[in-house]
Each structure stands twice: as structure tokens, then as C-alpha cells.
Structure 1
Amino acid sequence: MSTATTPQDDRSLQLEVQTRVHASLDDTFAALLEELGPANLGYADAPMPMVLEAWPGGRWYRDLGNQDGHWWGTVQAIRRPTLLEICGPMMMSFGVASNIQYRLTADGHDTLLTFRHSALGLFPAGYRDALTQGWSAISRRIQARFPSP
């Protein structure tokens, strides 16, 4: 797994995480939808189930019940099993515009999962580091579902 951040200035974010998963494209994509949806974990691995409507224009949000919650984004593009792209504020409750992309590429019997997060906004000090850790954890959980043969 590799992680790279290349902030252009203190108002932008570029993050990339690549993870090799020992599973087919279809199985990896299904695990991705599960990890971003009902199996999602938050800070300190606390359960934080999300709803991901996996179609163009579908919402990605945290449903707290009683019509309360937090909208993270909208599915901008989906091409099963090779692409999921979402735009929106993500988990950030400050002025920001984000785009995340998950691209899946077959590599023999494995899948290369490439995650990219691009954002522009008013980031509080230290926020980039927390984002890197959170996104990397999702990729590690997907990878852990399919141990090495």
C-alpha cells in the first residue's frame, strides 16, 4: 500500500492510496460497497454505518434516524466493478468541495484498488493527516477481507 499527499497550498488536498487486494474485481467492488455502507467504521473503529445508494445521483450519508443525519456526497459516476466516484463535502463540516474516486484494475487474480481524494476548502490545521488515516483504514479493511493465499 502506498499513500501520497501533495497539498498545492493550505486550501487544497490531493491524496492517493493504492492497495493490492487478493480477490476478483467483482468481490473487491462488493467489499468496497459494504465498507463504505453498512460495515463502515469511524474514529477508533467505532461502528458508523452509512447508506450508499450505488447508482448515479445516489446519496452517501449517515442515517441517525428520525430524519437526522449527515450527507457526505452524491455518486457522480459508477461503472461496476471498476469505478466509484463520489462528490460532496464528505465528513467535513466546513467550507469544502471534494471528489473521491475508487478505481479497480484486475492484476492477475488480484485487484489493484486505487483511491484518490481531491478537495478544495478551508482546512483546519492537522486535518489532512486525519483524512489520510481514515481513508487508508478503509482500504486496509477491504484488503483484510481477502487474506493472502
Structure 2
Amino acid sequence: MPATVKEGVLQAFEILKEEEIAAPIDIVFETILEQMGPLNSTPEKPMPMVLEAWPGGRWFRDLGNNTGHYWGAVQAIRAPSLLEISGPLFMSTPAISNLQYRLTEENGVTRMRFLHRAMGWIGENDRGVDEGWSQLIGRIVTAAAARAQAVRD
């Protein structure tokens, strides 16, 4: 059978989200690790992940029996102000992503800047990720603010 040659177009995208969270920076950072890790979910179901929070640590979905999905590696981490991950994330194509969470705190309020940049062979289904990131960031904001309120009470 002869090889099939299909021409494609390399794609790139950038998603930037900024939030102010009524919680100290250390609580926000820990909440990010939890929400990206064991508490990760989709609107349809829980999707727990493993996030090894050290340089070179993996971010992956462990399905048991040596099966799962590799999403990326911790490129940089400086608790509690920076988490950066690079890897294919959810894409099963020749593509690469870079995620950055940058945090600053002023008067007990943490400003979170989230940036996702991707480039490569990005399919149509992989470009509509803005809604998923919005849901994750919403969970981070809600959980961090609730944790901070519980500490204050």
C-alpha cells in the first residue's frame, strides 16, 4: 500500500487569564497543585492526575497497571510564586505546550496570571481548550478563597 501524504498547517495559540483571589499566595499555590493533581476533574467526571512538584517532575494521568497519559514535566517551580510545565498536555500530535502560573500577593490578595502557549500540529479538537482552563481556574479561585476563609474563621 503506498504512503499517504497529507499536507497540514502548523498552528499556535495563546491563552492568558488573570484572576485576583482573596487568599494568601501560599494557599493559592497549594490549591493549584491540588486542582491540577489529585482533585483535577472535568465537568463530566473526576480526572485525578499526578503532579510531581519539583524540577523535572511529571504531570500525568495514572490509569493503573502501567497505563496512562503523560501531559508534561515541571520546567520551573519556585513555590509559592511560579509553576511552569511543558509537554504535549492533552494533544496526541507533534505539538508542545508551555503552561505558566505566576503569583504575586499584596495585602492578602493573590494575583494569578495563567498563560498557556502551544505550537505544532494542533487539531481542531485541541484548539477549544479555553473553556477547560476557565473551569480549572474557577475551581482554583473558589477552593483557595474557601480555604483562606476557613483559616480566618
Coarse TM-score class (shorter-chain normalised)? 0.7 to 0.9
Residue 16 of structure 1 corresponds to which residue in structure 2? 16
Moved over 4 A (4+): none
Q: Which residue of 2 aligns with 1:97?
A: 96
* Equivalent residue, structure 2, for 1:63: 62
SS at match of 2:124: coil
- SS of the residue corresponding to residue 77 of structure 1 reads strand
Classify the secondary structure of the residue corresponding to 1:48: coil
Aligned to 2:132: 134
Structure 2: unaligned runs, 5 residues or longer: 1-8
Q: CA deviation at 1:121?
A: 1.3
Task: State the one-letter code of the partner of 1:138.
Answer: L
Give the alignment's Cα RMSD to 1 decimal.
1.7
Deviation at 1:126, TM superposition (A): 5.1
Q: Deviations over 1:3-54 (max 9, x none)?
A: xxxxxx9610111011111100000000000000000002x24100000000
* Contact persistence 2:91–2:126 (CA under 8 A): no
Write the letter of the residue equivalent to 1:133.
Answer: E
Contact 2:10 2:119 in 1 (8 A): no
Whose radius of gyration is greater, 1 or 2?
2
* CA distance in 1 between partners of 2:121 and 2:10 (Å): 8
Q: CA separation in 1, counterparts of 2:90 and 2:34? A: 18
Please give the TM-score of this superposition, normalised by the length of structure 2: 0.85
- Please report the TM-score for the alignment, with normalisation by the length of structure 1: 0.87
Per-residue CA deviations over 1:40-75 (Å, capped at 9, x if unaligned) read 002x24100000000000000000000000000000
Size of the aligned set, in residue pairs, is: 139
